[in-house]
Amino acid sequence: MSTQPTGTELILDCAGLTVLIAGTTTAARRTVRRYSAGGATVRRIATPGQFHPRLLDAVSLTVVVESSDDVGGVIDENSWAPLREACRERRILTASEEAAPPGGRVTLIGGGPGVEDLLTVRAKQSLREADVVLYDRLGPYRTLPQLAPGAELIDVGKTPGHHPVSQTDIEKLMVAKAREGHHVVRLKGGDPFVFGRGGEEVNTCVAAGIPVTTVPGISSSIAVPAAAGIPVTYRGVAHAFTVVSGHQPLTEQELDALAKLGGTIVVLMGIGTLPQLTSGLRKAGLASTVPVAIVEKGYSPEQRTTVTNLGEAVTAAGLARCTSPAVVVIGEVVRQHRDFQATLEQVLSRPLVVS
């Protein structure tokens, strides 16, 4: 187990150690959580008046958390002098840390398509500094205890057709936690502004007067086709790509516009509406032979690509039992698929192309 103070590269292994943390409750909350997460037995004093030399028995490290604007009361740094002196006498290492900045804030983070090494450096840094993380299951949630060792982790995940926490409640929780003075990280799959309701969450924070920043993420709309070897653009083949949501069926005008535009069509949340989409695009003029790839669970050990065409896509997806999360790619670029060696007939006779 290890602990990482904000803004430094210091990593301490404190399993089995007793650590005395001195500092007011609000100022020291992140330090206490971090050392507890690092395996230390934590002893706390909030004011210099609470210090007694016996408290240092079995203590290996004392951390003084300095704060000038703590809501729990301002403590003059010099008041910790007797504690520091007692530690010196007993040769107990003493570290000083700055308090967590006062006031709550929210950071919206794009978590990428689900694996930790596709998080950005900035996203990792924000997670390390988080007091609370609201996450769902499209981002890299499995390693959150290590990525955000000092944070309370709250699963607000939605699986299709099942909404454990409504969007309104997520936003209320986000605001409430920030108003308690916490740094709240809202970790979302892919990029927060691509079908992620990130815009709404930013507006809620702004309306509530809470400082909010965003960290972009790698969107599944580009990264998941890439995981199957499919470039969304290709010189001479597709010089545009359109990302659409399949959450609701597209209108006739939208389908017409898509068919006329040419280029690659990338569909997120498209498994449920695949029948309307494929028949609509054919009615709008696309040939039934236009290649289609359905890439499920990108970047996970269960990643699977089903290659078919517009005329056969619904049958192929049914035979292969394709499920969410999946990205559907429609267009000639699908021929770049790594395993796209066989003819469509051969592919359809074995609809599962596993990559």
In angstroms, what CA-CA distances link 250 with 63, 264, 274? 58, 16, 10
CB of 133 to ligand SAH, least distance (A): 17
CB of 277 to ligand SAH, least distance (A): 13
172 vs 297 by CB, closer to ligand SAH: 297
Chain-centre distance of CA 122, in angstroms? 12
CB of 8 to ligand SAH, least distance (A): 32
70, 131, 177, 269: which is the annotated catalytic residue?
Answer: 269
1, 124, 158, 297: which is the annotated catalytic residue?
Answer: 158
Is 158 a catalytic site residue? yes
104 vs 189 by CB, closer to ligand SAH: 189
CB of 36 to ligand SAH, least distance (A): 33
Residue 327 three-state SS: strand
70, 131, 136, 191: which is the annotated catalytic residue?
Answer: 136
Is 177 a catalytic site residue? no
Question: Is-contact 214 193, C-beta < 8 A?
Answer: yes
56 vs 329 by CB, closer to ligand SAH: 329
How far apart (Å, rounded) are the C-alpha atoms in residues 288 and 306? 16
Residue 292 three-state SS: strand
Q: Which residue is nearest to ligand SAH (CB)?
A: 190
219 vs 273 by CB, closer to ligand SAH: 219
Question: Is-contact 264 241, C-beta < 8 A?
Answer: yes
Q: Which residues bind ligand SAH (CB under 6 A)?
A: 113-114, 138, 188-191, 194-196, 219-221, 224, 268-269, 297-299, 324-327
Chain-centre distance of CA 88, in angstroms? 43
297 Rama class: left (phi>0) / alpha (psi -120 to 50) / beta: left
CB of 347 to ligand SAH, least distance (A): 20
33 vs 188 by CB, closer to ligand SAH: 188
Residue 12 three-state SS: strand
Question: Is-contact 77 167, C-beta < 8 A?
Answer: no
Nearest CA to 62 out of 100, 19, 91 is that of 19
Sequence-distant (≥ 6) Cβ neighbours of residue 324 within 8 angstroms: 160, 269, 271, 272, 296
147 vs 293 by CB, closer to ligand SAH: 293
CB of 139 to ligand SAH, least distance (A): 9
Question: Is-contact 265 306, C-beta < 8 A?
Answer: no
By annotation, the residues acting in catalysis are 136, 158, 269
